[in-house]
Amino acid sequence: MKKYIAIVLLIFTLCACNQNKGDDGKVRRFTFAISSSVKLPSNLNINDTSIEIEVFKLNDKAFLIIDAPGNYNFEDVLTTLQKNNSSVLVLLESLSPLERVYKLDQEHEYTPLEGQLISIQENTKKYVLTLEIINDPELKKEYKRVHGKGMAWPEITANMKEVGIKDMEIYWEGYQAYLIMDTKMDFDFATDGEKWSTLPRESEWQEYVAKFQKVDPQSKAAEKWQTMILQK
């Protein structure tokens, strides 16, 4: 009898885990840009392990990432935070999830309120970087188009994989772009970034996208984006 109960409990636990993960071990990602004038809650932790909250900062900018179960939308996130009396709830009620303009190997497009379906990356490092886009509506429209589904140059996608980038996303708020990059554990901007710049069509691509970016047109990809720091 005890053995039977143990088996039932194990099955229940596994089902609960799968329900939390949803969509075959994937998560729904919601991102937010936070200005320096907004006071962040001192404690972002919640008593619900199905939701992970991270904040990355650089100078007067903050970027918040919420990874929720794969079957959640933004309303589900807010409901969960409300149940947990989370201090971040008030902050999120005044913000809107950001639009994603690029993903490595993007197969589907989702609205910010649906959340972005992300495969969980094992044994990787996460980088969050930011870059300012030139304040021009037409250029911004073109930037979105050239980063859209099916528009990435195949050589550029191959180059990222060659240097150990497992996944990459770009979100934006106004004219500020935020990049999330999952890499191999031993990825190094100095060595891998140098190799990256020499790969096929890479310099051509960097020269092309420079017209959108408030950076030195001659800069390499690893030099253009500023690294944001995870707050612990």
Q: Check residue 24 and give its pLDDT.
A: 67
Q: Check residue 221 and give its pLDDT.
A: 66
List, in sequence order, every residue forming a beta bridge with 62; answer none if it has no partner. 34, 57
Nearest to 169 by CA among 118, 228, 227: 118
Structure tokens at 182: 């999952």
Strands (E), the chain: 26-35, 52-58, 61-69, 99-103, 116-119, 124-132, 165-173, 176-184, 226-227, 229-230
Sheet holding 99-103, edge to edge: 99-103, 165-173, 176-184, 124-132, 226-227
Nearest to 156 by CA among 191, 85, 207, 91: 207
Q: Check residue 133 and give its pLDDT.
A: 94
Structure tokens at 15: 């089902």
Amino acid at position 5, single letter: I
Give 146-194 pLDDT, tens digit per residue: 999 999 899 999 999 999 999 999 999 999 999 999 999 999 999 999 9
pLDDT profile of the chain (232 residues), mean per 10: 38 36 77 86 80 93 96 96 89 94 93 96 94 95 95 95 97 97 96 94 92 77 86 84
Q: Check residue 120 and give its pLDDT.
A: 86
- The pTM of this model reads 0.86
